[in-house]
Structure 1
Amino acid sequence: MQARYTALFRLNQLSQECDQLANFYPQVHRTIASLMTAKNFYIALYEQTFNTLEFVYYIDEKDERPEGVFEITEFEGSFTYLVVESKQALLVTPSLRKQLIENKKIVEFGSQGTDWLGVPLMHGDEVIGVIVVQSYSESIRYTEPDLNMLTFAAQHVVSAMLRLQDQQRLKNAVDARTKELMAQIREREKSELLQESLYRISELSNDAELEINEFYAKVHNIVGQLINATNFYIAKYDADNQLLNFYYYVDEKRDARNGEFKSRKLSNHFSELVLKRKETILLSQQEMQELYRQGQTIEPDKETHSWLGVPLIYGGQILGVMVIQSYTQSTTYSKQDGELLNFVSHHVSAAIKRRELADFERRSHELLEQQVKLRTLALEEEISQRKQAEKLLKHTAAHDSLTGLPNRTVFIDLLNHAIACKKRKDEFSFAILFLDLDRFKMVNDSLGHHAGDKLLKIIAAELQALVRDKDTVARLGGDEFVILIEDLESNQEAFEISDRITEFLQQPFTIDNQLVYTGTSIGILFSDERYENANIMLRDADTAMYHAKDSGKGRYEVFDASMHKKVQNALSLESDIREAIDWNEFEPYFQPILQLADNKLKGFEALARWQSRKRGFVYPNDFIPLAEETDLILEIDLQIIEASCKKIKHWQNMFDDDSLYVSCNLFCKHFFSSSLPRDIEKILHSTGLAPQNLRIELTERALLENADVVLANMQALKRMGVKILLDDFGTGYSSLSYLHRFPIDVLKIDRSFISNVHEHENHRAIIKTIIDLATNLQMATVGEGIENLADAQLLQQMDCLYGQGYYFAKPMSALDCTSYIGSMLTN
């Protein structure tokens, strides 16, 4: 313990004893080595602004020090990268290394060691570097105490290192001030320096080999020899698009990542003030604040002490602005500085214009030379290009442009060839795997199609690695892939490949630094003598895939004949439903809703029934699920509402009772469309039914998706006067949060609680809770599925207001309902 305190004390002394950082790092190594085995040791500094990594100290038995400053992305997948990204210490043992490699979380960098221990160097919440020890021997292993010790020591390393850096910055500042004083002494030489600078700027504009960014940098350097231009930028004015483009900038406080130097539309910044006035503008912080108070500019950065901008003008045309600014009291620009910068700006403008013209002439000349060369080699090039084009066309015609896999055309040819082989050789066996990615649409919707394309490329490459060399992976389009597994010795081979693919696609993928989870549903079809062509086989494999998806996703299913029959039946039923909508075959049946206290008729629930001219009477359970799946239920619902409103209005007039209402069910997707209020209003207007005589029923599912759109639609219906009923309450999510949020008038207690409620004490408790909850929220309650007197009496005793069910009446046609209303009103 004493050695540990001595070492930590030693770390704190280093910043006073070391005169520079180069001497500091070896001392840190020696100190750490006194606490633990640190034969292999390095310190890497991370610069967050430029996202770079530099190995400032590196001692290793096997590997050389990486020289220079690197983009940190060059070390993506390394342990050092993991520590920087996570801001957490990391102890990597052989077992953890193996696990990380298998999960593709890391890649190997340098020689493989035994243990690797690294901790971040933290300054506040920011990582400024990493300190690492590692071993290549089984005899040297690191433990959690080593990790804790190194983490603790890293805090003292940071403190000492920051003090040294501050000392270095102070020394630099002193040196800079010294140079500034020397510059003042040489004031009499400024005229000569100015002439030399202008001459150098002129030379730069004539150097055609100089890159444009280097040109601006050299202009900055020349200006900086005349005036303190530590913070400097040149922005060019795009008159056609009214844009200000920052072509060159160097700044102590700001960078492009904060949006400071992004191209922008002309606004009320200080640079635009220079463009507008076309004159030199010199401002102090106070003057900048005054312009802001007058509404002429944006609010200035409080760190800016002095600001000087000049227009870049050539031949009366404004090209842009050149700006210098100071963040310290030590540098305050004067009118003389403004005159000097303005004088220089004329030469800079001319140089920029000459440079643009030179670049244009150079590009024109290069283009002309290229055209001459192309013209000279035209015949030879045409032949070569024709061959390349033919080769490319053949490849493009046969392969998917995104993944490079064979496309549908090639796969069909290969599959037809396999079918032909099967007919020639009975013992030849093959299989098709038809894959569809699960949750792929969610990836596109949340991360964009670019991320979806990346995921497809990764999966395509991995699928090729998971199958045998003689098998073929193809992409049909979208997120659908097919695999031809030829020359099977047994069906088990196809199952094993399917298992490998399913297991692989259950793992998360990293796309644009985001974990993405997908999966696959696979349809398997084995070769059979009855198949004559590839399209039929693909169809059946596709059918098997959809059965796998319907059975829960992330699995595979083998095709059998019953699947095809089921698909054919569904297609036939869907076609008949579409015709039934066109022929208005759907009609409402009405089930009475009574007031439990006195059995008085209050209204009806309208239920969709289908009397088909082809199929006869079709039960709701046989057509509603498919209608919902195909969204045909949306048209059916609106037809039922319109027919029900007409009937209720007719009965109101017939029996002189304006209180009768009808309650209609709406599929949840109605509430996801902003047109719902207009649709309901149109029906009420055409039928003449008052809004208060229409009630709309929806299930909890509608409240759990697109909540903002659903709420807006419910509020619009409420403003109209239509009441909202929540159907089947108690069987789903049943959250109190949406009862408070959404404007619900009535809770309908599900029939599963009410059936023989007098025999189930726990059901009575649930029903009582629902009724009390509704009462507190000023909502009414309707009990569904009442089938005997005992249930009706018990619900009435628990203060349930309304009820419906076979005990009162079954759903009935409009004709039977007319008689029923008459009998109820005369009793």
Structure 2
Amino acid sequence: MTDSLEPLSDANADLAKESIALLHQYQQLQDRYTALLKLNQLTSDCADLSKLFTQVHRAIAAVMSADNFYIVLYDQTLSTLDLVYHVDEKDHMALGVYPLSKFAGSMTNYVIATGKALLATPEVIKSLEEANKITAVGTSGIDWLGVPLMHDGFVIGVMVVQRYSADTRYQESERDLLEFTAQHIVTAITRLQDRKRLQAAVDARTRELMQQIRDREKSELLQESLYRISELTNDPDLVIDTFYRQVHNIIGQLINAENFYIAKYNASNDELDFAYVQDQKGVNSHQFFKKRKLSNRFTELVIRSGETVLLSQQDMLALHEQGKTIKPEPEVESWLGVPLIDSGELVGAMVLQSYHSATRFTEQDAELLRFVSRHVASAMQRREVADYKRKAHELLEHQVKLRTAALEDEIKQRKIAEEKLQHAACHDILTGLPNRAVFIDLLNHAIARSKRRPSFKFAVLFLDLDRFKVVNDSLGHHAGDMLLKEIAIALMQVIRDTDTVARLGGDEFVILVEDLESDEVAHEIASRITELLSAPFYIDNQSIFIGTSIGVLFNNARYTSADNMLRDADTAMYHAKDKGKGCYEVFDASMHKKVQNALSLEADIRTAIAEQEFVPYFQPIISMTSGKVVGFEALARWHNEQRGFVLPSEFIPLAEETNLVMAIDLQILEKSCQQLKAWQQRFGYQHLYVSCNFYCNHFFSLSLPQDIQAIIDKTGVSPQQVRVEITERALLENSDVVLKNMHALKKMGVKILLDDFGTGYSSLSYLHRFPMDVLKIDRSFIESVHDRDNHQAIIKTIIDLASNLQMETVAEGIENLADAQLLEAMGCMYAQGFYYFKPLPSKEVAEILASNV
């Protein structure tokens, strides 16, 4: 009996050991599961990379030996390694960015080069060293285990654990665990890096907007101040001392003006008279502010130079040491003076002083005070004139009471006022020239006179300023009005006494040249005007080049009304503009013909739409990674039986002007979809798509989604194979309607491309608000990309921005291999251009598809 029990006891013991081993394995699996679950949660919840690496280390250390642990991030473009986390028993390295060469020959570098995990035992390390694949770097250990951090097939870093003792050895299971962990870390890293880049872009835009707001508030305050100064001059009951005090108060809202004075200059006797003084500390005695002849004080620097003077205490002392001024008061820390100039005449100076080191005037203060000073000087002169008129009026009233003869003066003044009213009704208020109504009347009289006297010859010159809108937009309407006045004066000096200059409105002038002895007289006047207006005009001390285009029309028996003559003169003027501006053109029958040709072309376009004459040409779009065709941009082409092949540059502008381009766009989209469906049935390619340009007005119509859906249903293509290209102009107008249409197209599955990105009013707000899928980089950046570094920076920024916003990028206008290689290196996804293919008819595209896309 004893013999039979002994084997049973041994079996129980073995069973117990096996159970303990199984429990140990179960506990290990449970620990790993817990660690992996924690890692998965970390990649979703963690918002800080440094905290992520610390918690990853803790999680790994919970399931395997990881006393020695580090993570490096690899930048392939810069060839650098960023040591973002490092814990080691023996080696100590500072966190930061190192050149890749510092890790040459290391196992870390080996993992980066191979893109594969490495479990390096002493035997493996010896073998790699003998093969010259690694060299000893750092303190040698027993086991070294490193796995690559992979993103989109590229190594972006390495995660490493190692041991210096042989108590516990790394196995394949630890390698698998570390590789699995690496996938989660890459997800977290890319997510946090994308968030950081996006946040940086948002912060930069926010700062830009805040600066714009501050600039706008400052501008509004300045405009309000100028308006208030103007209001002061129009208050007849405001005495001059109160006027100066309120001007001081207004300026004090723009600049620190605690110490302020206005000095008036009388050029006839070379004297300064201090009209207003507010000095907080009273450093200067009352003797200083008495009327005086010009001397060697600091105010005189402004008067004599007619320029702004900005001085520190050191500057003032230097001027004194040079013998140019008196010794300055020691309390004055900063001094700013600007001249008061009205209509080119120096009338005084306006001065600010500071006695505190905390207040020092800047060039910006000087510019602001200089700008305000122009209005103050004008207001002072008008105020003084108003005061003078008020006193004169008071004197006149007193004289009326004394003498009844003053009634005759009142009647006379009324007559003058009536004459002024009559003059105002017939003349332009701004320039004083005859207005349109007067000119029409004079022109009709000239036409009637030529009917009575056939020998009577005259001409009409129609002028339009070439760059007037630029002046208004850049310098403001005030400068524009001053320029119009100067031009009116100049035109009056050019014409003869018998001729008439009138302003029709805006920047349009007309001249009636009568009693012509020959046509050459009108040609000579037009030439003189062209030459005169090509020279610069000076407005507010700034030179302005304006130029003019002139249409010349001679009288003819066929003209019976002034309106018809003005119409043809206007037509001749537009021909001058089309010819290049800054010249004149004489109206002739060919101009009629050009108008008729435009009408004929419009009629042919309408017929071509009805007859389905517009056909798509297809320019392939290439994947820069695979080199294969992924889709096509469809471009409108037109062949007409009478006209032959009509270039897009000839019919597209007129089609857009007449809005016929919308019908052409839909016709091209439908034919492109039909052709794409035919290629799919013939060659079996399902990944190809077609992209069509749509005129901006399409997006202003709520029927756009239904129009496109009808074409998709009719042709049988998938919505995902249809793309619509939109320009930035469409995003500026009717944005709510555009946004609604874009959301409807996205819901259908149609992708939307933003064409010519970067050439218009590009804004990050568009990319966040409007649901775009693809950014098309305009060819203007590609054409000079090797000559202009800023174009490379712009392209790289667009590509990175699109990547961060999960958009695709297409580069247009690739003309050579160098362009293609550069765009591919920058990370651009797709490209099109003559380097790959020019726009092709469908037959030639079929030959390409037949040779395997």
The structure with more radius of gyration: 2
TM-score clears 0.5: no
